[in-house]
Chains A and B, each alone.
Chain A
Amino acid sequence: MKTLLKTAILSSALALGAGFAGPAAAQDDSIYIPNLSYRTGPFAATGTPLMNGQRDYITLLNERDGGLNGVKLVYDECETGYNTEKGVECYEKTKANAVVTQPWSTGITLQVLPKSNVDEIPILAPGYGFSPMADGKVFQWAYNPPSSYWDGASMILNNLSDGNLDNLKGKKIALLHLDHPFGKEPIPLLEALAAKHGFTFLPIPVGLTEMQNQSAQWLQIRRERPDFVVMWGWGAMNAGAITEAVKTKYPMDQFVGVWWSGHDGDLKLVGEAGKGYRSISWSVPNSESPLMQDIKKHVVDAGKSLINQGEGEFDSVFYQRGLMISAILVEGIKEAQEQFDVRAPSPEQLRWGLENINLDEARLKELGAEGMLVPFKTSCADHTGHGGGWMLQWDGAKFVKASDLLMPDRTEIEPLEAAKAKEYADANAPWPINEECSM
C-alpha cells in the first residue's frame, strides 16, 4: 500500500511538473514538444508502447547528449484517450509554446488540419493522417512521413499481386476496417484501383462496440470467401480480428494488416495460431542496434523508462516505432537549427526543417538505427517522402522481416492524391497554396 501511495504521489508530482513544463519552453534553452497521447481508454494497449518509445528517445538525447545540440528537449503528454474532441482540447491547451503538434489520430489530425494555416504550427503525423497531406504545396504545415496510408495500401496490393495489379483481376479483396476516419482512409484508393484493375473490393466496417465481437464480420468473410483480407485495424480491433480469423480458420498467409495492425501484444493472444499473419511496416525492431543499446543503458537500466520489461515491450515493433517517430521529429529540429543557426527553432523554422529531412541509410547508421526505419527524404512539395516499407510476419512468437523493401506505385496514387488535395482546398476556401515551392 505504501508503494502504491508513493507511486500515486510521484505520478501527481510528475503531472504537476509536466503542467509547468510548457512555459519553460518559451526560453532559448529548451524546445517544447507536446504529444497528444493516449495511454487510457479502448486504444491504450496499442498507444502505450508507442508513447513510451517517443518519450524514451527524447529522454535518451537529454541524458546522453544533454539535449539536441546543447538544447534540452521538453517532452510533454496531453491525454486524449484517442477521443477527437479531447484531442482538439489538448491541441488548444498545448499550442501556445509548441514547436510542433503530434495529433496521434486521423480524426484529430483532420480536425486540427484547417487550424494549421492560422496557428502556423507544423503537424507531424508519421504514418497516419490524411494521405493527400503528402502534397506539401497544398498542406504547407502537415507532414506524414515516411509512408502514407495510400502508400501502405499500394504496397500491400503490389505484394499480393506479385508486383502486377492486373494479376488481381477477378479476385476479391476485403478491407476489414475500423469504422472511423482512420479505417476509412484507404477506401478511395482501393475503390479506384479495383475499378482500374478489375478486382472486387469489399469494405467490411467494424464499429467501436463490435471490436471485440467481430463474429458478424467474419461470418461475412466466411460467406463471401475473399481471396485476401486486408486489415485497417487499431486497438482492441486487431486482437478481435486475429482471434476470429483463427476461429474461422481463414488462411493467415492471405491476411495482411497495415502497420498499426502489427502489434506484438495483439498477436501474442493467439500465439502459434497466428503464424503467417503479415503486416506492412516502415519500421523494423532491432534490439541489438547501437541505438537500442544506448536506450537500454541510458534510459531503461537507469530507471527512466515507463516500459513494461516483463512483457517484452523493449523488443516490440510498436515501442521501437515510437523511438523512430521521435527520431524523425528530432531530425527536422536539427535541420532547422543548422539552417537558421538558432538554438530553439520557431514553428515556422521547424516547418523548413521537416521539409528538408534526409534520413538516408548513412544518416540512419550515424543514429545507430540502420535498418530500423525506411530511408526517406522530404521536400517542400513532398511531405511524406514515400520511403516504402517491409512486410513483417508473425512467426508464432514475434514479428520478423519477411520481404525486401517494397515501394508504393506512385503513378497510381499521385493523380488521386492531387485530386483529393485540390478537393480539400476548394472545400475549405480560401486555402493558401505554397506558390514559392517550385519542386
Chain B
Amino acid sequence: MDILNGILVKPFADMAAAPDFLLQVLWEGLVGGVLYALIALGFVLIYKSSRIFNFAQGIMVVFAALTLVGLYEKGLPAFIALPLTLVVMLVLAMTIERVVLRPLVNQPDIILFMATIGITLFLIGFGELIFGGENKVMITEQLMIPTGSFVFELFGGFVSIEQKDLTAVVGAVLLVAGLLVFLNKSKIGRAIRALGDDHQAALSVGISLSTIWVIVWFIAGVIALATGIVWGARAGVSFALEVIAFKALPVLMLGGLESVMGAIIGGLAIGILEKVFEIYWGQPLLGGNTEAWFAYMLALLVLLFRPQGLFGEKIIERV
C-alpha cells in the first residue's frame, strides 16, 4: 500500500504542496533538455547529410571549448579567440573531409562509424598534447555571458534562475532557429537535405559531396563550440565533457537520427521528464541516480511502438 501511495499519490501531493520547487525542477529540466538537444543536433546534422553516426561529436565539444580557453590563455582577447576557434573548427572539418571521409566514400556505414572512433582517439591525444588534461575555467565573463541569478519569490518559496542558464536557453533557441532557416531556405541547406535523401541523385544534379561535408562538419563544430561554452560555464572545461555525449544517445533514439525537430523535442522531453522522475519518484523510491537510465528506458518504450523514433523517417524496403 505504501508503494502504491509512493507511486500514485505522494509525488503529486508533493508537487501541489511546493509549487515553487516544482517550477524549479521544471526549469532545471528545461535547461538540461536544451543542453541535450544541442549535443544531439550535432549528431543529427552529420547523420542527415552523410549517414555517418559521428562518434566524435562528444570530443569535438571538448576540443572546441579547450581551443577557445587555450587561445584566451595564450593572451588573445576573447573577441579574437572566439572567431579564431571557429577557424580552427573549419580547418578541422576540412581535414576530416580530406583525410578521413573522402578516401572512405562508398564504404559501408560501419567503416565510417569506426573512422569517427579513430577521429575521437586522435582528438583526445592531440588535445591533451596541446592543452593538457587540467580543468580550465570557461571565459564566461569575457564572452559577456552574465553570471548572476534572478530569484523570484513565488508560492511562499522561491525560484532561482541562473543568468548563464537563461543565456544558454536563449542562445540555443537562436542557434536552432538560424539552423532551421539555413537548412530550409538557403541553397546550401537544400543541398544538405538533398544529400541526406539520396547521395547519387544529389551528385547527379551537381551537388559537391566534399563541399557539403566540410560545411556540415563545420556547422557541427559550431554547435560543439556552443555546447562546450554552455557546459563549460557550468563545471569547467576538461575532458570529462566528452562523457556528456552519452546523454545524446537516448535523445537520438527518441527523436530519430535524421530529424532536427526530433533532436530538439527529444532533448527537451528527456531533460524535463528525467528530472521530474528523478526528484518525485527516483530519489524517494529508488535511491536516486535514475537519470543514468531513465532516458534509455523512455527511448526503449518509444522504439517499441515507433522503431524510427518520434520524428525519424519510416523506411520501407521492398524485397
Please name all residues of chain B whose beta carbon is closer than 8 Å to the beta carbon of A266 when the two chains form the complex.
Answer: 135, 236
Tell whether A179 is near chain B: CB-to-CB under 8 Å.
yes
- Evaluate contact between A219 and B240: CB separation under 8 angstroms: no
Please name all residues of chain B whose beta carbon is closer than 8 Å to the beta carbon of A308 when the two chains form the complex.
Answer: 132, 134
Tell whether B197 is near chain A: CB-to-CB under 8 Å.
no
Q: Which chain B residue shows the least CB distance to A51?
A: B133
Choose from A206, A208, A216, A247 the contact partner of B149 (Cβ within 8 Å). Answer: A247
Choose from B25, B129, B243 the contact partner of A209 (Cβ within 8 Å). Answer: B243
Tell whether B258 is near chain A: CB-to-CB under 8 Å.
no
Choose from A42, A45, A179, A313 the contact partner of B243 (Cβ within 8 Å). Answer: A42
Residue-wise, chain B 14-31 has the 8 Å CB interface mask toward A (1 for contact) of: 000010010011001001
- Evaluate contact between B235 and A236: CB separation under 8 angstroms: yes
Q: Which residues 317-346 in A have Cβ within 8 Å of B in the complex?
A: none
What is the CB-to-nearest-CB distance from A250 to chain B, in angstroms, rounded to a whole number? 12
Choose from A42, A179, A219, A269 the contact partner of B239 (Cβ within 8 Å). Answer: A42
- Evaluate contact between B135 and A269: CB separation under 8 angstroms: yes
What is the CB-to-nearest-CB distance from A236 to chain B, in angstroms, rounded to a whole number? 3
Chain B facing A: main interface SS: helix
Identify the stretch in A3-11, A65-73, A124-132, A381-389 within 8 Å (CB) of chain B at 4 or more residues: A3-11
Residue-wise, chain B 122-156 has the 8 Å CB interface mask toward A (1 for contact) of: 00110011101111010000000000010000000
Tell whether B190 is near chain A: CB-to-CB under 8 Å.
no
Choose from A40, A213, A247 the contact partner of B32 (Cβ within 8 Å). Answer: A213
- Evaluate contact between B35 and A213: CB separation under 8 angstroms: yes
Tell whether B176 is near chain A: CB-to-CB under 8 Å.
no
**Complex CA distance for A217 and B287, rounded to whole angstroms:** 11
Known: A39-B128, A213-B35. A239 touches B236 (CB 8 A): yes
Please name all residues of chain B whose beta carbon is closer than 8 Å to the beta carbon of A269 when the two chains form the complex.
Answer: 135, 137, 235-236
- Evaluate contact between B231 and A236: CB separation under 8 angstroms: no
Q: Which residues 207-249 in B have Cβ within 8 Å of A in the complex?
A: 231, 234-236, 238-244, 246-247
Q: Which residues 243-297 in B have Cβ within 8 Å of A in the complex?
A: 243-244, 246-247, 275, 278-279, 283, 287-289, 291-292
Known: A209-B292, A265-B134. A45 touches B35 (CB 8 A): no
**Complex CA distance for A206 and B18, rounded to whole angstroms:** 24
Chain A facing B: main interface SS: helix
Choose from A42, A235, A268 the contact partner of B137 (Cβ within 8 Å). Answer: A268
Q: Which chain A residue shows the least CB distance to B14?
A: A223
**Complex CA distance for A213 and B275, rounded to whole angstroms:** 11
What is the CB-to-nearest-CB distance from A375 to chain B, in angstroms, rounded to a whole number? 31
Residue-wise, chain B 58-99 has the 8 Å CB interface mask toward A (1 for contact) of: 000000000000000000000000000000000000000000
**Complex CA distance for A254 and B256, rounded to whole angstroms:** 45
- Evaluate contact between A207 and B292: CB separation under 8 angstroms: yes
What is the CB-to-nearest-CB distance from B167 to chain A, in angstroms, rounded to a whole number? 15
**Complex CA distance for A58 and B224, rounded to whole angstroms:** 41
Known: A209-B243, A269-B236. A45 touches B135 (CB 8 A): yes
Tell whether A47 is near chain B: CB-to-CB under 8 Å.
yes
Tell whether A311 is near chain B: CB-to-CB under 8 Å.
yes
A-B interface contact total, Cβ < 8 Å: 136
Q: Which chain A residue shows the least CB distance to B246?
A: A209
Tell whether A424 is near chain B: CB-to-CB under 8 Å.
no
Known: A209-B246, A217-B288. A240 touches B134 (CB 8 A): no
Residue-wise, chain A 1-45 has the 8 Å CB interface mask toward B (1 for contact) of: 000100110010000000000000000000000000001111111
| Most chain A Cβ neighbours within 10 Å, of B28, B149, B162, B240 | B240
Choose from B132, B149, B288 the contact partner of A205 (Cβ within 8 Å). Answer: B288
**Complex CA distance for A106 and B135, rounded to whole angstroms:** 22
Known: A44-B133, A220-B288, A239-B235. A215 touches B246 (CB 8 A): no
Tell whether A297 is near chain B: CB-to-CB under 8 Å.
no
Please name all residues of chain B whose beta carbon is closer than 8 Å to the beta carbon of A207 when the two chains form the complex.
Answer: 289, 291-292
- Evaluate contact between A47 and B291: CB separation under 8 angstroms: no
- Evaluate contact between B289 and A41: CB separation under 8 angstroms: no
What is the CB-to-nearest-CB distance from B62 to chain A, in angstroms, rounded to a whole number? 10
Q: Which residues 187-219 in A have Cβ within 8 Å of B in the complex?
A: 203-213, 215-217, 219
**Complex CA distance for A11 and B240, rounded to whole angstroms:** 23
Tell whether B308 is near chain A: CB-to-CB under 8 Å.
no
What is the CB-to-nearest-CB distance from A209 to chain B, in angstroms, rounded to a whole number? 5
Choose from B130, B132, B234, B246 the contact partner of A240 (Cβ within 8 Å). Answer: B234
Please name all residues of chain B whose beta carbon is closer than 8 Å to the beta carbon of A219 when the two chains form the complex.
Answer: 21, 24-25, 28, 275, 279
Q: Which chain B residue shows the least CB distance to A224?
A: B283
Please name all residues of chain B whose beta carbon is closer than 8 Å to the beta carbon of A204 when the two chains form the complex.
Answer: 283, 288
**Complex CA distance for A269 and B69, rounded to whole angstroms:** 13
Q: Which chain A residue shows the least CB distance to B241?
A: A212
**Complex CA distance for A370 and B58, rounded to whole angstroms:** 45
| Most chain B Cβ neighbours within 10 Å, of A11, A213, A219, A220 | A213
**Complex CA distance for A222 and B283, rounded to whole angstroms:** 13
Q: Which residues 155-213 in A have Cβ within 8 Å of B in the complex?
A: 179, 203-213
**Complex CA distance for A208 and B242, rounded to whole angstroms:** 11
Q: Which residues 281-311 in A have Cβ within 8 Å of B in the complex?
A: 308, 311
Choose from A4, A179, A222, A223 the contact partner of B289 (Cβ within 8 Å). Answer: A179
Q: Which residues 232-246 in A have Cβ within 8 Å of B in the complex?
A: 235-236, 239-240, 243
Tell whether A48 is near chain B: CB-to-CB under 8 Å.
yes
Known: A44-B133, A268-B137. A240 touches B279 (CB 8 A): no
Known: A205-B289, A212-B244. A45 touches B278 (CB 8 A): no
**Cross-chain pairs A/B with CB under 8 angstroms, 18 sampled:** A8-B129, A41-B239, A42-B242, A44-B239, A49-B134, A179-B292, A207-B289, A211-B243, A212-B240, A213-B235, A215-B28, A216-B291, A217-B288, A219-B275, A220-B279, A239-B135, A247-B149, A268-B137
A-side interface residues toward B, CB under 8 Å? 4, 7-8, 11, 39-45, 47-49, 179, 203-213, 215-217, 219-220, 222-223, 235-236, 239-240, 243, 247, 265-266, 268-269, 308, 311, 313
- Known pairs A45-B240, A209-B243, A216-B291. 17 more at Cβ < 8 A? A8-B129, A42-B239, A42-B240, A47-B133, A204-B283, A205-B289, A211-B240, A212-B231, A215-B275, A220-B283, A222-B21, A223-B18, A239-B238, A243-B235, A247-B160, A265-B135, A268-B137
